[in-house]
Amino acid sequence: MHLLRTVPPRQLENICTEYNICIRDAFSKITGIFPSEANFIQFSRSVGRGGLGFRNPIFFSHIAYLASSINASTRDQTSLGDIDDIQSAINYVNEYVLSDNDIPYNIDSEFRIPKGKNENPSGRPKKHFMDIPSQHDLSCKLEDKQLKCAVNSALLAQNSALAAQLRSMSSKHAGAWMRVVPSKTLFLNFKPSEYIILLRWWMRLPQFAADELHRYIKCEAVLDPLGYHALTCKSGGDLIHRHNAIRDMVFKACQTACLTPRLEKHGLIANSNDRPADVYIPHLNNGKSCAADIAVTHALQPNKIFYAARESAGAATRYAIMVKDKKYKAVVEKQDHGIDYLPLVVDCFGAWDQRAINFFKKIAATISKTKFAPYSETISQLMERLSVTHMRANARALLCRYPRRCISDILPTMIEDLDDTDQK
């Protein structure tokens, strides 16, 4: 990072290229995954933007250099390096980082140029310290723009599946499973086979060649190489397993928050056996009870993909409103004890509907007060636990459905850890 901040980008190109090659080679050697060039664009996006977090330093060298140069020029009244290098970094940032609404950077207005080098006529830096762009802000802008371009090109190419997946994977907390520090003790770990099948699925890499025909033994359905059927298949109990695993995690979080939750409480709706509350909380908002109803939907389902491709967590929100609210909201709320009905819906890539995120924030705030733990840490840990639980269940559904031969092709060295995962 120090090099990126202090050495002109043009002098770093070769080193950055070499660095990228080393990282990609190491990734392929460890995972057995050999991504295409298109996959490498996702590979180098941050986890928060649906990538794998192996950032490409070439993209950030101009930003780091420009931010340091402006800082040095404005705060210390010195200039880093040559004006041509600074101008080239400015050109890069203006073209690839700033949005249409931003005012482009200009060497005359941002820099205090040292005497003898096209001296700034005013002699004073024109920017206030508060206006100095930080490297972090510019990097976020660059990544947002790259993601927006990727989504827009997918939409232009009428590839709704890719657009939907990009939006879902880049939604808040969706990539938490990848960021978590693995811990067996805290059950925040994946088996190698689980992690690798998830990486392949996340990167849209086929699990087998398109001309091969595979059926899932329990439902006889033809499997698709990208895992859509595996995560929507009603046979084999994997959907129920995934739902219950997430439900239990939500229940535990409510217990930790001392909210005395009840699991699958019945009798909430008069004269009905329906149980709209996966987790029932007797007192939540203004002392009112809450029926939290957990559901997982698939962002690429034909009736959801349009929404998923156009807004973050679009599939989850649509499902919460059109299916869950429609079925239970009115009926639960008009019971004489007046219960708040709250669907907690997530799509298969981990994009939660905003109402669910608000609920988790509330639970995390309560936990952080009772445990005297920082809120930011508490909410991250809660979302990480939910994400790992969810993705582990996805991995199980994917691994169970692919024939052992396909799995051994893509996971050559990890076949032994499948023995207690597959065919359950």
Interaction site with Zn ion (CB under 5 A) = 216, 219, 221, 233, 235
Tokens of 260: 């005395």
Closer to Zn ion by Cβ: residue 179 or 218: 218
Closer to Zn ion by Cβ: residue 228 or 306: 228
Q: To the nearest whole angstrom, how small is the minimum distance from the Cβ of residue 216 to Zn ion?
A: 5
Q: At what angle do helices 83-92 and 57-75 cross, to 10 degrees?
A: 120
Q: To the nearest whole angstrom, how small is the minimum distance from the Cβ of residue 232 to Zn ion?
A: 8
Closer to Zn ion by Cβ: residue 12 or 395: 395
Q: To the nearest whole angstrom, how small is the minimum distance from the Cβ of residue 256 to Zn ion?
A: 36
Tokens of 375: 């809120």
Q: Which residue has the tokens 């973050």?
A: 312
Q: To the nearest whole angstrom, how small is the minimum distance from the Cβ of residue 234 to Zn ion?
A: 7
Collapsing DSSP to helix, strand or coil, 1 comes out as coil
Closer to Zn ion by Cβ: residue 161 or 221: 221
Closer to Zn ion by Cβ: residue 218 or 327: 218
Between the alpha carbon of residue 269 and those of residues 246, 328, 338, 357, the distances in Å are 24, 9, 11, 26
DSSP string for residues in 70-105: HHHHHHSS---S-HHHHHHHHHHIIIIIS-TTSPPP
Closer to Zn ion by Cβ: residue 143 or 238: 238
Closer to Zn ion by Cβ: residue 47 or 219: 219
| All residues at 6 or more sequence positions from 19 whose CB lies less than 8 Å from its CB, including other chains | 57
d(CA 51, CA 107): 33
Q: To the nearest whole angstrom, how small is the minimum distance from the Cβ of residue 229 to Zn ion?
A: 6
Q: To the nearest whole angstrom, how small is the minimum distance from the Cβ of residue 233 to Zn ion?
A: 3
Q: Amino acid identity, residue 233? A: C
Q: To the nearest whole angstrom, how small is the minimum distance from the Cβ of residue 190 to Zn ion?
A: 24
Torsion of CA 38, 175, 321, 278, to 10 degrees: 140
d(CA 34, CA 175): 21
Closer to Zn ion by Cβ: residue 125 or 236: 236
Please name the helix (run of DSSP H) or strand (run of DSSP E) that holds residue 231, with its range, or none: none
d(CA 325, CA 319): 9
Q: What are phi and psi of 251, to 5 degrees?
A: -60, -45
Residue nearest to Zn ion (CB): 233
Q: To the nearest whole angstrom, how small is the minimum distance from the Cβ of residue 383 to Zn ion?
A: 29
